[in-house]
Amino acid sequence: MYRTNNCGELNINFVNKEVKLSGWVQKIRNLGGMTFIDLRDKYGITQLVFDIETNENLCEKARKLGREYVISVEGKVAERSNKNKKIFTGEIEIIVNKLIILNASETPPFTIEDKTDGGDELRMKYRYLDLRRNVNQKNLILRHKMAFEVRKYLNNLNFVDIETPVLIKSTPEGARDFVVPSRMNKGEFYALPQSPQIFKQLLMIAGYDRYYQIVKCFRDEDLRADRQLEFTQIDCEMSFVEQEDVLEAFEGMAKHLFKKIKNFDYKKKFLQLTYEDAINFYGTDKPDLRFGMKIKNLTEIAKNKNFEVFNNSEFIAGISVEKSANYSRKNLDKLTKFVRKPQIGAKGLVYVKYNEDGSFKSSVDKFYDKKDLSNWAENMNAKKGDLLLILFGEKNHTLNALSELRLEMGERMGLRDNNKFEPLWVVDFPLLEWKEEDKRYNAMHHPFTSPKKEDIHLLDTDASKVRANAYDLVINGVEIGGGSIRIFDKNLQAKMFKLLGFTKEKAENQFGFLMNAFKYGAPPHGGCAFGFDRWVALFADVKSIKDVIAFPKNNSGKDLMINTPSEIEDEQLKELFLQKI
């Protein structure tokens, strides 16, 4: 037997008990004739003590141990004179009488501490050591708990967990596929699923009524903080549902997770904001509602006053920042620099200070008088003491930049409190978006999303105006998930493929099996999928989803630990009918 207890469970109630513990050496301290060792396992840290007076050999042996040695000890629990109230085991220590070295360790390349000295690359190369760190363990255990609660919630609602294949055919999520050459079928390839979308729809046609899966998806896209090549979705589908049914089921799941994981009771019904309002008020389809600062359109009232910059702008709008009229010149310069960054792309920033005494000071005083500026302030619901920040230019561009500026100001003002959660559904997305490069429409969600009944007539005349039965769940400005009610009529589906520029043959080749299945009694159905990594990262309060994935890829798509991707043998290439170029 290696242990009677773990390293996180002994306290004052166990004094005088004879115990056996096993774990890793976290730290060794020699103080006079005493040697103290912090012994660590998944459950915590327990202090071991060796006294040179009582057992010289044992103490000498302990002094020779190194960091990360794996040891097993026997001894007696004793009350500590120097107590550490911060940890559960901090009131006791183990007076050791037997020490077994189970395995030696080389000195690890970085310290196994929360605040480690190891850089990103080094930690990824030795990820198994990195994962020993408490911060990482905490995140992975949180991930496990969330998955467990998701399953519990969905099982209670009769959802059935069904696995879908990984070696499939191109899926319709709009990213690049990963492909796998087939050895048995010369010159042919599988694609890895960007999502199980088609299979879950087929499962509805197969009569399973409610499906879910916590499943790996693969998209060959450039990596960012919230993107990995392989990521995990909570993927769901339901039969005989309308949009409200789906939203209700998954609002329940979100509330269940808030409660069970964050001990946060979110009682209200989630706000539903149309896509159009989200863009107009917040400049983005994933607004952070932890704070206000809505965008206000000033285009009409700010034009035609000799200020050529505005007169030549398609769109002028701003946000009003509370109690910030005293913003310094230096800070305003910094903000101007911020909005001009290429990734934000505003041409410049106009500010208006609505001072406490009711006066105005602006960067456009040459062109606008007090009456004009007070008119702007009134339009923006600004109060004395507020600072108006205004951007201008092409409409979509400007809205986008305003969204970034709003988030920046929220951050600066400390309004993006990570202990607060503000969820919402964004609904009524456009069905299609025009792709100028390809001169055709793309599905905004995916080609199986149903148009709103009342908009179907526009499909032939003004397709860009058609709204979809599609929805996204957004929490604190993070797109946590999305889905739609699906088309279940084969004629409408065929029409959709046509609109998306598929020839009959191509639609048949790629999705023929689905169209065929639609001939055999497809029920109305809909569903959604949630980015599990993103959700865990949000609850763990970390910036990158890498921190909640055991073995993530780096930003170049590499796993530095197992050194992949890597070249393969010529023999293997030959077998797969592939050639090096």
**How many residues in the shown chain lie near ligand ASP by CB under 6 A?**
9
Helix (H, G, I), strand (E, B) or coil at 509: helix
User: Which region among 14-22, 285-293, 482-490, 497-505 touches ligand ASP (by CB under 6 A)?
Assistant: 482-490
Q: Which residues of 283-304 are buried (b: 16+ CB within 10 A; e: fewer)?
A: bbbbbbbbbebbbbbbeeebee
Q: 476 near 288, Cβ under 8 Å?
A: yes
Return the half-sphere exposure (C-beta side, CA atoms, 13 A cut-off) of residue 272: 12
Between residues 37 and 470, which has the closer beta carbon with respect to ligand ASP? 470
Between residues 99 and 529, which has the closer beta carbon with respect to ligand ASP? 529
User: Which region among 92-100, 179-187, 294-302, 476-484 touches ligand ASP (by CB under 6 A)?
Assistant: 476-484
Binds ligand ASP by CB under 6 A, chosen from 324, 400, 476, 484: 484
Give CA–CA dist 7/255, Å, rounded.
Answer: 34
Between residues 339 and 528, which has the closer beta carbon with respect to ligand ASP? 528
Q: Does 220 contact ligand ASP by CB under 6 A?
A: no
User: Which region among 33-41, 242-250, 432-440, 480-488 touches ligand ASP (by CB under 6 A)?
Assistant: 480-488
Q: How far is CA 389 from the centre of its chain?
A: 29
Q: 227 near 531, Cβ under 8 Å?
A: no
- Which residues lie below 8 Å from residue 326, measured CB to CB, with a gap of 6+? 353, 385
Between residues 241 and 528, which has the closer beta carbon with respect to ligand ASP? 528
Give CA–CA dist 566/581, Å, rounded.
Answer: 15
Between residues 405 and 444, which has the closer beta carbon with respect to ligand ASP? 444
Helix (H, G, I), strand (E, B) or coil at 134: helix
Between residues 233 and 324, which has the closer beta carbon with respect to ligand ASP? 233
Give CA–CA dist 60/35, Å, rounded.
Answer: 9
329 closest CA partner among 380, 377, 363, 293: 363
Between residues 195 and 239, which has the closer beta carbon with respect to ligand ASP? 195
Write the binding mask 495 to 534 for ligand ASP: x where contact by CB under 6 A, - elsewhere. --------------------------------xxx-----
Could you say which residues in the range 275-334 bind ligand ASP, by CB under 6 A?
Answer: none
- Structure-derived torsion over alpha carbons of residues 453, 472, 206, 488, reported in degrees to the nearest 10: 20
Between residues 255 and 525, which has the closer beta carbon with respect to ligand ASP? 525
Helix runs in 157-209, H state only: 197-205
Q: Does 447 contact ligand ASP by CB under 6 A?
A: no
ω into residue 565 within 30 of 0, thus cis?
Answer: yes
Whole-number minimum distance, CB 195 to ligand ASP, in Å? 3
Between residues 118 and 482, which has the closer beta carbon with respect to ligand ASP? 482
Give CA–CA dist 479/487, Å, rounded.
Answer: 23
Whole-number minimum distance, CB 446 to ligand ASP, in Å? 6
Which residue type, as a one-letter code, is found at position 72?
A: S
Whole-number minimum distance, CB 541 to ligand ASP, in Å? 25
Whole-number minimum distance, CB 288 to ligand ASP, in Å? 21
Whole-number minimum distance, CB 236 to ligand ASP, in Å? 7
Could you say which residues in the range 124-183 bind ligand ASP, by CB under 6 A?
Answer: 173
User: Do the bridges between strand 92-103 and strand 44-51 make them parallel or antiparallel, or are there none, so unpaired?
Assistant: parallel
Q: 216 near 166, Cβ under 8 Å?
A: yes
Between residues 227 and 294, which has the closer beta carbon with respect to ligand ASP? 227
Whole-number minimum distance, CB 527 to ligand ASP, in Å? 5
Give CA–CA dist 178/189, Å, rounded.
Answer: 10
Whole-number minimum distance, CB 484 to ligand ASP, in Å? 5
The tokens for 426 are: 């964004």
Binds ligand ASP by CB under 6 A, chosen from 283, 447, 483, 552: 483
Whole-number minimum distance, CB 199 to ligand ASP, in Å? 10
Between residues 527 and 552, which has the closer beta carbon with respect to ligand ASP? 527
Q: 183 near 235, Cβ under 8 Å?
A: no
Give CA–CA dist 293/10, Å, rounded.
Answer: 51
Whole-number minimum distance, CB 174 to ligand ASP, in Å? 9
Q: Does 482 contact ligand ASP by CB under 6 A?
A: yes
Whole-number minimum distance, CB 137 to ligand ASP, in Å? 29
Between residues 139 and 197, which has the closer beta carbon with respect to ligand ASP? 197
DSSP code per residue over 429-467 = -BSEEEETTTTEEEESS-TTBPBPGGGGGGGTT-GGG-B
Angle at 560 between CA 558 and CA 565, to 5 degrees: 40
Between residues 204 and 344, which has the closer beta carbon with respect to ligand ASP? 204
Between residues 124 and 529, which has the closer beta carbon with respect to ligand ASP? 529
Whole-number minimum distance, CB 161 to ligand ASP, in Å? 16
DSSP code per residue over 519-580 = GGTPPPEEEEEEEHHHHHHHHHT-S-GGGGSSS---TTS-BTTTTBS----HHHHHHTT---
Q: How far is CA 273 from the centre of its chain?
A: 21
Write the binding mask 177 to 216 for ligand ASP: x where contact by CB under 6 A, - elsewhere. ------------------x-x-------------------
Which residue type, as a one-letter code, is found at position 405?
A: L
Which residues form the interface with ligand ASP (CB under 6 A)? 173, 195, 197, 482-484, 527-529
